[in-house]
Chains A and B, each alone.
Chain A
């Protein structure tokens, strides 16, 4: 595993809002098929890093390489096409659409029929729609959501909404999956289930995952390596167990 090529390389990444340096001089390398954790106290800049990786914010300095390709400063949609998909801390589903349609939106760029073919109902429309339905159901099955495919996504319970968001992200066929606090608001059973799901995804879809998490148990349970952020700066980096026992990290979390 350790010889695998880097999937994501972040070099000297920084962003400034007005006078505030939200993230400063961040360096990070994630190898293929790795499950990497990004942790830190509230307001440390974790989600800001995600927003830069996915093009929501333009970094003030630094570069981001995905699979060897420079993707710094591209638009969110372009970055998704390059192979980064994400979930959101405050769930962002397409709330007035069914569970199945949410995933089908994720499959959008993989099917090539045009609007005109759709309106005229040419053969490619039927063929590709059928493929989309099958693929979407397959993804929903991973998260045991297939029996609820026609439910309105906003009617799902919280834990399932989080899973649906992951399924939708996977549908875009990414190389790298960014999960922003996927276990937030879940009970211990659901969290355990989610951990299994994440391991399964990495194997089945040949995926690389970067995870933001507050739940230390989850992080130490599944992440091989972590980076700890504090006030926008890297506090520690390395093998999870070592980092979590680092006195600096403990201080940052528990205070002096």
Chain B
């Protein structure tokens, strides 16, 4: 029983990291109607930035983390401006291929700089002892992941529902043309969405690399894809959906690792996606979109 609780807590922790990444996917999908394949690789860039900053002697941990998040945010905006903006009116296949190209580009730049071997990442909370609650030992990374994710989710929900910029995002995702006619700066809103999504990816990179202390050019791709699965699971475009989907997926992955097979856990995650899409293609919280005839 104790081990079950410990797997569960670790699953929630992993899941909350997925949820942070999934939020980026879902926000961008909602507003730009595109699958930002490069989102996972932004995490990898964030991880390497922090890794590099921390290995220079003068840079304290907190500053490294901030640098990492800022780099991710700027990268997200630049990618949108350079690669995606010219393709707003292009067919979805072209946009998807471009996004794959961007993902590939980031991975290969990292490969040339850092090589393909995994390097060990020093946890940002390495000297803090784990906590034991009722016989279950929980690492500091796990606690921080859950707490940070919760705080961010609350802030994001408040931001979107209470602020002007947040409401503009909702309006643009509903109808770009109408939003523009209402005086909303659509380009700025899309940039803001990419910025927030990428900043969340930056936060996720800190949590992910600290919990699983390794980094390589491929670090981002699997969590990225799984987070997308989480976003679809929860209903793409829905913010609470991304949170629930992320946490559920993390729990499913960790429990199947523990009780079924650690080798096949990835396969199980994808199986979940396929079942969800077949049974309820719009996800748990998604709404149905009809093509206008």
The verdict on B181 contacting chain A, using a C-beta distance below 8 Å, is no
Of all chain B residues, the one with the shortest Cβ separation from A88 is B293
When distances are taken between beta carbons in the complex, the residues of chain A under 8 Å from B293 are: 47, 51, 56, 88
When distances are taken between beta carbons in the complex, the residues of chain B under 8 Å from A88 are: 293
When distances are taken between beta carbons in the complex, the residues of chain B under 8 Å from A47 are: 293
Q: Which of A47-104 contact B (CB under 8 A)?
A: 47, 51, 56, 88
Report the minimal beta-carbon distance from A201 to chain B, rounded to whole angstroms: 23
The complex places the Cα of A51 from the Cα of B293 at a distance, in Å, of 8
When distances are taken between beta carbons in the complex, the residues of chain B under 8 Å from A56 are: 293
Q: Which of B237-293 contact A (CB under 8 A)?
A: 293
Contact with B along A123-158 (1 / 0, CB 8 A): 000000000000000000000000000000000000
Report the minimal beta-carbon distance from B204 to chain A, rounded to whole angstroms: 37
**Consensus secondary structure, chain B interface:** loop
The complex places the Cα of A138 from the Cα of B293 at a distance, in Å, of 29
The complex places the Cα of A47 from the Cα of B293 at a distance, in Å, of 8
User: How many residues of chain B have a CB within 8 Å of chain A?
Assistant: 1
The complex places the Cα of A88 from the Cα of B293 at a distance, in Å, of 8
Of all chain B residues, the one with the shortest Cβ separation from A180 is B293
The complex places the Cα of A245 from the Cα of B293 at a distance, in Å, of 32
Of all chain B residues, the one with the shortest Cβ separation from A47 is B293
The complex places the Cα of A76 from the Cα of B206 at a distance, in Å, of 51
Of all chain A residues, the one with the shortest Cβ separation from B292 is A90
The complex places the Cα of A130 from the Cα of B174 at a distance, in Å, of 49
Report the minimal beta-carbon distance from A22 to chain B, rounded to whole angstroms: 13
Report the minimal beta-carbon distance from B293 to chain A, rounded to whole angstroms: 5
Contact with B along A187-208 (1 / 0, CB 8 A): 0000000000000000000000
Report the minimal beta-carbon distance from B89 to chain A, rounded to whole angstroms: 14
Contact with B along A24-63 (1 / 0, CB 8 A): 0000000000000000000000010001000010000000
Of all chain B residues, the one with the shortest Cβ separation from A86 is B293
Of all chain A residues, the one with the shortest Cβ separation from B291 is A56
Report the minimal beta-carbon distance from A171 to chain B, rounded to whole angstroms: 20
Report the minimal beta-carbon distance from A113 to chain B, rounded to whole angstroms: 30
Of all chain B residues, the one with the shortest Cβ separation from A92 is B293
The complex places the Cα of A56 from the Cα of B293 at a distance, in Å, of 8
Report the minimal beta-carbon distance from B94 to chain A, rounded to whole angstroms: 13
The complex places the Cα of A46 from the Cα of B293 at a distance, in Å, of 12
Report the minimal beta-carbon distance from A94 to chain B, rounded to whole angstroms: 14
The complex places the Cα of A256 from the Cα of B293 at a distance, in Å, of 31
The complex places the Cα of A51 from the Cα of B291 at a distance, in Å, of 12
Report the minimal beta-carbon distance from A222 to chain B, rounded to whole angstroms: 25
The complex places the Cα of A108 from the Cα of B293 at a distance, in Å, of 22
Report the minimal beta-carbon distance from B91 to chain A, rounded to whole angstroms: 10
When distances are taken between beta carbons in the complex, the residues of chain B under 8 Å from A51 are: 293
Report the minimal beta-carbon distance from A47 to chain B, rounded to whole angstroms: 7
The complex places the Cα of A247 from the Cα of B293 at a distance, in Å, of 32
Report the minimal beta-carbon distance from A114 to chain B, rounded to whole angstroms: 29
Report the minimal beta-carbon distance from A23 to chain B, rounded to whole angstroms: 14
Report the minimal beta-carbon distance from A79 to chain B, rounded to whole angstroms: 14
A interface residues with partner B (beta carbon < 8 Å): 47, 51, 56, 88
Enumerate 4 A-B pairs (CB-CB under 8 Å) in ascending A order: A47-B293, A51-B293, A56-B293, A88-B293
> What are the 4 tightest A-B residue pairs by CB atom distance, in nearest-first order?
A56-B293, A51-B293, A88-B293, A47-B293
